[in-house]
Amino acid sequence: MYIDDRPSTQSHFDSFPPRHSTSQHFQSLRTPIHSHSSIIMALRTLGPKAAAALDQELMSTGAFSLDQLMELAGLSVSQALFKLQPPQKGNRILIAVGPGNNGGDGLVAARHLWHYGYKPTVYYPKQPKNELYQVSGSI
């Protein structure tokens, strides 16, 4: 269904590589990190109100679920950790988890890291309570 969903005038491969990857701006990011850093344009930023609006749009008209966005975020966190600290350099990871969605990203990362061969430990002091299912307490 994926191929069929595309306009018939455009093949599946026309979009590879993405057009933007050849632009001057993005090519400059491929140069070694820290070299010429003063002349590399920084990525544009997203303020807190715009970030909340973007998330809301993704989860309404964008048709993403909260679970999906959290999974993608946590997967990204786990990959960044792998690039910073491959498991053979020391695999004991302590994850401080806050009460909101940022904490959820950490919980997803913990799961991926376990499957990559790390030994995650989770500090999660403000867990939501549920009358039907008690999740507090430690193992």
Partner 1 sequence: MDTVQRLSQQLRDLRIPFTEDFSSQLSTTDFIIDSIFGFSFSGEVREPFPSVISALRNSKIPVLAVDAPSSWNIETGPPDEGPGKGYNPDALISLTAPKPLVKWFEGRHFVGGRFLTQAMAEKYELDIPPYEGLDQVVEVPANK
Verify binding: residue 101, partner 1, rule CB under 8 A.
yes
Q: Site size for partner 1, by CB under 8 A?
A: 79
The two three-digit tokens of residue 93, written as one number: 């990871």
Verify binding: residue 117, partner 1, rule CB under 8 A.
no
Binding-site member from 6, 14, 56, 90 for partner 1 (CB under 8 A): 90
Closer to partner 1 by CB, 12 or 34: give it.
34
Verify binding: residue 84, partner 1, rule CB under 8 A.
yes
d(CA 116, CA 112): 6
Q: Are 118 and 93 in contact, with CB atoms under 8 Å apart?
A: yes
Verify binding: residue 12, partner 1, rule CB under 8 A.
no
Least distance in Å: CB of 90 to partner 1?
3
Verify binding: residue 102, partner 1, rule CB under 8 A.
yes
The two three-digit tokens of residue 76, written as one number: 């990204």
3-state secondary structure of 120: strand
Least distance in Å: CB of 2 to partner 1?
15
* CA count, 13 A, side-chain hemisphere, 44: 4
Closer to partner 1 by CB, 11 or 72: give it.
72
d(CA 78, CA 115): 10
Strand partners, 115: none
Window 30 to 59, contacts with partner 1 (CB under 8 A): 30, 33-34, 37, 40, 42-48, 50-55, 57-58
At position 89, the amino acid (one-letter code) is K
Binding-site member from 89, 116, 117, 131 for partner 1 (CB under 8 A): 89
* Cα-trace Rg, the chain: 20
